Amino acid sequence: MAKNVIIMGATSGLGEALARRFAALGCDIAIAGRRTERLEALARELRESNEGIRVFWDMIDVRSPEAPLRLSHLSDQIGGVDLYIHASGIGHENTSLEPTIELETAETNALGFVRCVDTAVTLLRSQGRDGQIAAISSVASTRGLGASPAYSATKALQAHYLEALRQMSLAKGWDITVTDIRPGFVDTPLLEGKSYPMTMPLAYAADRIVKAILAKRRVAWIDWKYLLLCIAWRCLPGMLWERLPVGFVPFRTEPKQEKKAAEPKSAAGGPEVKKPEEAAGTAANEPGKDK
């Protein structure tokens, strides 16, 4: 099993839950993200609750050109990487096609993703030992979603990039496993407490993701219900798909305290609307232990 695990995007949601799980398995952990106070608090918690493991953290913004250097430094600190998990990402509905939202999503989920995953491949190759890259894309990677164009498009980029890396790795004889994790809705700060059909509890999704990573799966659908949904909607011809108002029909419920009259609705597997000034990530969300 992987000994040294680096998790990008560990300050909340799935990344944070995965950090707890791999620490409990006895792995040394290095965590990164932008919110330093959360990284510090999680690092402290992991050390206190898992005797004998080493924990490192660094503030890394995947959009920064410095990210590869900082990631390499984190890898040096922990003593080389066995498993790199890319859980960093943002997502917003954008039915008004606000350019700031589209561009920030592309910078984080496309450029930031490629920048960091590419660095992880280079690190693994330079170590001369086998290793694994696991990235959380989404079921949203499987079709263009009218309510979240940049989100679904960048998730498709991630899924294709990971598939390409698997092919490259085999062609070149690298001992690198590449795992594409594709969840449907998971109850994380990304959804801002709103309730969607088929939303999975964080602990449920995180447990399945750990299992898929340990089994070195190529592609892991979280969970089987979303796999069926994606098979069904992949079967639809483009002309029919384009006529479906996915994300524009009221199928989710608002939390009582945040109920608003005319808020746009989310696309399946997609995230919630945030204002452009909130688009820097999930800074307003409170951390919380998953069950």
Ligand X SMILES: NC(=O)c1ccc[n+]([C@@H]2O[C@H](COP(=O)([O-])OP(=O)(O)OC[C@H]3O[C@@H](n4cnc5c(N)ncnc54)[C@H](OP(=O)(O)O)[C@@H]3O)[C@@H](O)[C@H]2O)c1
For ligand X, give the closer residue by CB, 53 or 206: 206
Tell me, by CB under 6 A, how many residues bind ligand X.
34
Report CA-CA distances (Å) from 284 to 23, 34, 255, 258, 274. 26, 13, 16, 15, 11
Residue 4 contacts ligand X per CB under 6 A:
no
113-127 vs 67-78: helix crossing angle, rounded to 10: 40
Nearer to ligand X, 244 or 283 (CB): 283
Q: How far is CA 11 from CA 20, 22, 28, 243, in A?
A: 11, 15, 17, 38
Residue 197, Cβ neighbours under 10 Å: how many?
Answer: 10
Q: How far is the CB of 3 from ligand X (least distance, A)?
A: 23
In the complex, what is the shortest distance from the CB of residue 90 to ligand X, in angstroms, rounded to a whole number?
Answer: 5
- How many residues belong to the chain? 291
Q: Which stretch binds ligand X (CB under 6 A): 45-53, 86-94, 124-132, 163-171?
A: 86-94
| 186 contributes a contact to ligand X by CB under 6 A | yes
Q: What tokens does 165 get?
A: 């890396």
Which parts of 108-167 interact with ligand X (CB under 6 A)? 108, 112, 136, 138
197 neighbors 252 (Cβ within 8 angstroms): yes
Shortest Cβ 129–ligand X spacing (Å): 26
Rounded Cα–Cα distance for residues 86 and 117 (Å): 7
Give the nearer residue to ligand X in terms of CB position, either 123 or 268: 268
Q: Which residues bind ligand X (CB under 6 A)?
A: 9-15, 33-35, 60-63, 87-91, 108, 112, 136, 138, 183, 185-186, 188-191, 269, 281-283
